[in-house]
Amino acid sequence: MAILPIILAPDPVLKRRCLPVESIDRGIRRLMDDMLETMYDALGVGLAAPQIAVHKRIIVADVSDLASDGRAPLQMANPEIIGASDEILIREEGCLSFPEHYADVQRPASVRVRYLDHDNEIQEIDAEGLLSVCIQHEMDHLDGVVFVDHLTSLKRSIILRKMSKLKRAEATAGR
């Protein structure tokens, strides 16, 4: 497995809609495994393929308590929400493509998701709380939507300006 570089916003790569996965083959399984390793290394709870510059409809997540070393990874290809609660949850979100930036985002409190798993089997999962938020957040990435797109234009522009400044500083330091 490999740790892959995570794309930082703003970047047009993060705004592209991803293509469906035809089937889960050895290459897709390796990508899913690498995405999990990358997510764990970055101390995240979710990662979408476009965040590593792969435009396929793949997400990984693990909202288990990593402090207890009990992992519960999810690897999903072509996830689709087939049901959502009317109840709304407002929760602080962050993103590996927006390090050190957090904001409250409103989403359905629970969702039912259908997807292809690591073994190319169709699965369905009911998710609520943090897992629901994480899956919805990562699925947004597959459609070119980032969490700041859910914020007011003022909050979004402040975060994007700070991210642009960070990227310029990193580019200058890397020369």
Domain with 67, as residue range(s), is 12-173
Tell me if 46 is assigned to some domain.
yes
Do 111 and 131 meet the contact criterion of CB atoms below 8 Å apart? Answer: no
Tell me if 54 is assigned to some domain.
yes
Domains identified in the chain, total number = 1
The Cα 93–Cα 28 span in angstroms is 27
Tell me if 105 is assigned to some domain.
yes
Tell me if 72 is assigned to some domain.
yes
Tell me if 136 is assigned to some domain.
yes
User: Tens digits of per-residue pLDDT, 100-126?
Assistant: 999 999 999 999 999 999 999 999 999
Tell me if 6 is assigned to some domain.
no
The Cα 60–Cα 66 span in angstroms is 15
Q: What is the CATH number of the domain that holds 144?
A: 3.90.45.10
User: Tens digits of per-residue pLDDT, 18-59?
Assistant: 999 999 999 999 999 999 999 999 999 999 999 999 999 999
Phi, psi of 124 (to 5 degrees): -130, 145
Residues annotated catalytic, as ranges: 138
Tell me if 4 is assigned to some domain.
no
pTM of the shown model:
0.95
Q: Where are the strands (E) in the chain, listed by range?
A: 46-48, 58-61, 74-84, 88-95, 98-108, 110-116, 122-128
